[in-house]
Amino acid sequence: MSKHEQEILSLVNLRGTITVVELAQTLDVSDQTIRRIVKPMEERGVVRKVHGALISTQEVMDPPFLARMNKNRAAKVAIANCVAELVQDGSSLAIDTGSTSGYVAQALRRRKNLTIVTNSAYIASTLSMVEGNRVFMAGTQLRNHDGAAFDRAAFDVIASLTVEHAILSASSVHPTRGFLAFDQCEIDIARAMIDISARTVMAVDATKFSASGSLPSLRMPELRANDVVVVDQSPGAAFSDLIDPKQLVVAAGQ
Amino acid sequence: MSKHEQEILSLVNLRGTITVVELAQTLDVSDQTIRRIVKPMEERGVVRKVHGALISTQEVMDPPFLARMNKNRAAKVAIANCVAELVQDGSSLAIDTGSTSGYVAQALRRRKNLTIVTNSAYIASTLSMVEGNRVFMAGTQLRNHDGAAFDRAAFDVIASLTVEHAILSASSVHPTRGFLAFDQCEIDIARAMIDISARTVMAVDATKFSASGSLPSLRMPELRANDVVVVDQSPGAAFSDLIDPKQLVVAAGQ
DNA sequence: AAAAATATGTTGCTAAATGTTGTTTTGAAT
DNA sequence: ATTCAAAACAACATTTAGCAACATATTTTT
C-alpha cells in the first residue's frame, strides 16, 4: 500500500466524491500517479471509479452535510489536529455534533483508550471503531440532517458521566454576545457537556468570527477560566474581551 | 529502546504518516539511520512501512471492520440491493449490526421516509442523513470493533417500537441447527427485533452456508412462516428442511 | 586506556515510484 | 453522426527510495 492510498481513501470517504485532478493537486502529485494508485484500490472495491472522479463506496453523509464538511476544510483539519494534540491517550471527552467536531473525531483516531460521550451517531461510529476506545452514544432519536440526538435520553446519558474535556463548536462568535448557536437544543447539549467537564475546548474556524449574525442566534454558556479556544487564525482585537489571549490556541496552518 | 525510536513513534502517530526524509531532517540524522531504526519497529508491528514513508498503525480506517466489509463484497452488495427491493418507501425497519447489514443500510438510502431502529451507530448515522428518515439509535455503550450497542437501553428502545421488517444477519447457517451467531447478546438483540416485527428478512451470503462451524455458535430464533431469507446463491438441498424454497430469495448477481 | 560493541555516516548500486510526452478513448454538445 | 475537450492510457525518462558494504565515530566494557 502506497503512502497516498490512505489519504485518498479518507478524502473520498469524507467528501463522498472527488475528482482525480483535485486529488492530484491536494496530494501534490501528477494525475497519472493518482490513477496508478487508484487502479488497484478500485479492483479491491474500496472505491468506485467513474470518468474523471472517484466515488466513495461507503457514503456516510448526505450532500448538505458534506457541503458543510467541505466548507473551509483546510482550516477545520488544522484545528482538529490541534485539538487532538491537547488530548492525551486515555483521557475522557464529550464531543458535540457539527462539521468541525467531525474533523476532530477523525483526528482523535490517533489517540488511544479514550472514553467518549457524544450525541452524534457519526462521531460515535467513527471513534468506536478505534480499538481500546469506550464510546457512549447519548440519545435515541436522531436529527435528520446530521444524525445527532437531542432527546431526553441524550441528557440523561451525558449527565451520568464525567469527563476531562468538552469539545464543542459554535455556529458563530460575536465580540460581545459570545459564542452563538442556532438551536436551543444545541445549547442545552453544550451546557450539559460543559457541566460534566473539567475544561471546555471550543473549536471555531475564522469564518465564524466574521459571520454577520443576521439570523437569530442563541448564546452559549460563557467560558470558564481554564477553557481554551482553538482557531485557525487569530480573531481581531475586537474579540480580546471575549477570549483572553491566554485561552487562545492558534492551530499551525500545516 | 533508542532515544530516537520514541520520537519517531510519537511523530508518526501524531501526523498519521511521515516520510523517511522528513524524519531524517527532523532528528538531524541520515535517512539510512532512520531506516535502520525503523526496521525492527516495523517487525514488532508498532509502525507500518511503505515505500518512502511510515504510516501509523493507529490510523484512520480500522482494518477489522473494513476488512469484513470488503470480504465477499460483491455478494453482499447484491444481497443488500435485493433486500432494499423488498422494502417500500415509508415503511419501518429494525436492522442489526454486521457487515451485510452495513451494505443493506447503504442500499436503503434509495428509499425514502423510512422509520429505522438499529443498535449500530454506523447504520444509524448512515440512514439518519437521508432526508425524511426517522432513525432511532438503540443503546448507549458501543462495542469496540463495530460500534454496536447491546446494553439494557438498547433493548428498551427496541421494545418500545414496532416495525414491519426485521433485517438480520447471521454468522453462519447450519442445515439442522439453523442460523447461528457468536455472541449471546447478538441473539438477544435479534430476538428483540423479531419480537417487534411482522416479518424477518435474513440476509446471508453463500460463504455462511459452508462455514464448518468449529467455533461454538449459538442458535438464533427459528424462522416464522412469512419470513424470508435473501442469499446470493441458492444453498444446497441440505438446507431445504431449514428454509422453505418459498421463503428463499436469490439476489440477482449484479 | 585499550578493546569490543554499537551506532552513524558514506558510497555505489538496484529497485521503485513518479513525471512527461504523445496517443487513444471517452463523454457531452452540437 | 461529427466534433471537441477532457480524461485515460502507454512508453519512456527521471527522480527518489532502499540496500549492502565499508569507513568512521561513539559508547561501553574490561
User: Please, which pLDDT band fits residue A216 given cuts at 50, 70 and 90?
Assistant: low
Q: Which residue bears the cell 473494513?
A: B66
In a 13 Å sphere around the CA of A167, the CA atoms on its Cβ side amount to 35
Question: Residues of B with CB below 8 A from A58's CB?
Answer: 69, 102, 106
Domains of chain A (ranges plus CATH)?
3-59 (1.10.10.10), 66-250 (3.40.50.1360)
pTM: 0.82
Q: Which residue bears the cell 457512549?
A: A136
Q: CB A134 to CB B157 under 8 A?
A: no
Q: Which of residues 84-143 of B touch strand D (CB under 7 A)?
A: none
Exposure b/e, B76-111, CB count within 10 A at least 16 = b: bbbbbbbbbeebeeebbbbbbbbbbbbbbbbbbbeb
Q: Report d(CA A108, CA A126) in Å as an integer.
A: 10
Question: Residue B216's pLDDT is what?
Answer: 61
How far is the alpha carbon of B46 from chain A, nearest alpha carbon, in Å?
Answer: 13
Q: Where are the alpha helices (DSSP H) in B108-215?
A: 121-128, 152-159, 184-195, 207-210
Does A51 contact strand C, using a CB cutoff of 7 Å? Answer: yes
Mean pLDDT of A237-253: 88
Q: A253 pLDDT exceeds 60?
A: no
Q: What share of chain B is helix, strand, coil (3-state, %, to 5)?
A: 40, 20, 35
Q: CB A137 to CB B142 under 8 A?
A: yes
Residue B1 exposed, middle or buried by CB count within 10 Å (0-12, 13-18, 19+):
exposed
Question: For A62, phi and psi rounded to 5 degrees?
Answer: -90, 155
- Protein-proximal positions, strand D, CB < 7 A: 6-11, 16-21
The answer to whether the beta carbons of residues B148 and B121 sit under 8 Å apart is yes
Nearest CA among B226, B150, B129, B252 for reference residue B192: B150
Interface subset of B 190-229, CB within 8 angstroms of A: none
Of A60, A131, A133, the CB nearest to B125: A60
Give the strand pairing for B228-231 and A228-231: unpaired
Mean pLDDT of B228-235: 94
Nearest CA among A114, A107, A106 for reference residue A131: A114
- Can you tell me which residue has its alpha carbon closest to the C1' of nucleotide D17? B52
Cα dihedral: B8, B10, B13, B18 (round 10): -30
A6–chain B Cβ distance below 8 A for any pair: yes
How far is the alpha carbon of B116 from chain A, nearest alpha carbon, in Å?
Answer: 10
Q: Is A95 helix (H, G, I), strand (E, B) or coil?
A: strand
Best mutation target, B116, B122, B131, B254, to test chain A (most A CBs within 10 A): B122
Collect all residues with Cβ–Cβ distance below 8 Å to B127 and sequence separation of at least 6. Answer: B105, B108, B109, B114, B116, B118, B133, B135
Tens-digit pLDDT profile for residues B166-208: 999 998 898 888 999 989 999 999 999 999 999 999 999 998 8
Angle at B9 between CA B7 and CA B12, to 5 degrees: 105
Does A6 contact strand C, using a CB cutoff of 7 Å? Answer: no
Q: B59 pLDDT exceeds 80?
A: no
User: How many A-B residue pairs are in contact by the CB < 8 A criterion?
Assistant: 146
Q: Is B24 helix (H, G, I), strand (E, B) or coil?
A: helix
Of B17, B129, B132, the CB nearest to A61: B129
- Can you tell me which residue has its alpha carbon closest to the C1' of nucleotide C7? B33
Phi-psi label, residue B6: left if phi above 0, alpha if psi -120 to 50, beta otherwise = alpha
Q: Which nucleotide is nearest to A27 (CA to C1')?
A: C18
Question: Residue B254's pLDDT is what?
Answer: 47
Tens-digit pLDDT profile for residues B99-155: 899 999 989 999 999 999 999 999 999 999 999 999 999 999 999 888 999 999 999
Mean pLDDT of B214-222: 81
Nearest CA among A167, A195, A164 for reference residue A84: A167
Exposure b/e, A216-226, CB count within 10 A at least 16 = b: ebbebbebeee
User: What distances in angstroms separate CA B222 from CA A104, B179, B182, one per listed residue?
Assistant: 44, 8, 16
Mean pLDDT of A181-194: 96
Tens-digit pLDDT profile for residues A122-143: 999 999 988 899 999 999 999 9
Of B52, B120, B128, the CB nearest to A147: B128
Of B17, B73, B149, the CB nearest to A137: B149
Q: B69 pLDDT exceeds 80?
A: no
CA-based radius of gyration for chain A: 19
Give the strand pairing for A218-219 and A248-250: unpaired
Q: Which nucleotide is nearest to A37 (CA to C1')?
A: C17
Q: Which residue bears the cell 538531524?
A: B28
